[in-house]
């Protein structure tokens, strides 16, 4: 198949707490940008959609085949993926974006939360289980929260942020098109190779991915980026640098 259209997701997602504060992670998008640059060398590439936040690394290559798609949150990323996959013939997705696990569901002060809990349990004879349930219900859905559509005051004491789970983006990709060749990424820190491969393989099976690039944070740095790429046959390739990973992914997509 010539003129294969590919999506590369890259960089961190940014989840708002208020108008200026965000929850993010340490990803820079450097690896995703390098992968994109490598794929843009391929004559058989049709179009490359590069989805990333504003401040993440971008491909250095200038090409009419490249379309930059800017996102911020995990929901933005999911929407962009679904839109592109729905409206285009996509051959493969390199999902290297470091999607945050949590978003800021709401902000509240300790005083507000204490007042709401006290109101719910004051003068009520509740057993331990009901007490826990009542308090948890207030925490899950308080009737008063701090206005986080604007900048929260820098002098706000006892500020608390309730975190919610972001959608699992990788699990939605094959749901959009089961024929897409999906390459996912998994990052752990200071684990055994056996554990890393086990977790990565579980991710591959759970999301019907074709390949997973398994990384150990403790082995990334100083010009090195050790990674083990696995598929349903086990270990496909072991890499030592970002460049090695990028070239291997190009081979997978265009072999």
Mean pLDDT score, 22-36? 95
Share of the chain above pLDDT 70, in %: 99
The pLDDT of residue 63 is above 90: yes
Q: What is the pLDDT of residue 201?
A: 95
Helices (H), 47-192: 74-87, 110-121, 128-140, 170-176
Q: What is the pLDDT of residue 123?
A: 86
Token pair belonging to 14: 């940014």
Domain residue extents for the chain: 4-100+168-254, 103-164
Mean pLDDT score, 156-174? 94
Q: What's the chain's length in residues?
A: 255
* Alpha carbon 174 to chain centroid, angstroms: 16
The pLDDT of residue 177 is above 70: yes
The pLDDT of residue 59 is above 90: yes
Residue 108 sits at φ, ψ, to 5 deg, of -155, 150
More confident residue, 11 or 144: 11
Share of the chain above pLDDT 90, in %: 85
**Domain 4-100+168-254: assigned CATH number:** 3.40.50.10300
Residue 38 sits at φ, ψ, to 5 deg, of -65, -40
pLDDT tier at 2 (50, 70, 90 boundaries)? low
Q: What is the pLDDT of residue 150?
A: 83
Q: Which of 63-77, 85-99, 142-156, 198-212 has the lowest average pLDDT?
A: 142-156
- Distance, CA of 176 to CA of 44 (rounded, Å): 23
């Amino acid at each position: 198949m010539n003129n294969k259209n590919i999506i590369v997701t890259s960089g961190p997602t940014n989840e708002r707490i208020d108008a200026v504060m965000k929850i993010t992670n340490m990803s820079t998008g450097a690896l995703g940008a390098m992968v994109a640059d490598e794929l843009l060398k391929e004559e058989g590439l049709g179009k490359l959609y590069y989805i990333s936040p504003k401040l993440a690394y971008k491909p250095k290559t200038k090409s009419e085949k490249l379309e930059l798609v800017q996102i911020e949150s995990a929901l933005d990323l999911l929407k962009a993926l679904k839109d592109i996959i729905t409206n285009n013939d996509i051959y493969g997705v390199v999902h290297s974006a470091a999607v945050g696990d949590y978003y800021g569901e709401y902000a509240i002060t300790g005083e507000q939360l204490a007042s709401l809990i006290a109101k719910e349990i004051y003068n009520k004879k509740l057993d331990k289980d009901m007490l826990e349930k009542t308090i948890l219900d207030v925490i899950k859905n308080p009737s008063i929260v701090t206005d986080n559509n604007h900048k929260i005051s820098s002098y706000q004491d006892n500020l608390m942020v309730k975190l919610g789970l972001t959608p699992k983006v990788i699990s939605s990709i094959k749901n959009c098109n089961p024929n897409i060749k999906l390459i996912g990424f998994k990052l752990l820190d200071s684990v055994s190779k056996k554990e890393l491969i086990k977790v990565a393989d579980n991710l591959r099976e759970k999301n019907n991915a074709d390949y997973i690039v398994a990384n150990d944070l403790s082995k990334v740095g100083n010009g090195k980026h050790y990674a083990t790429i696995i598929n349903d046959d086990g270990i496909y390739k072991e890499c030592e640098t970002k460049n090695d990973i990028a070239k291997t992914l190009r081979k997978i997509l265009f072999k």
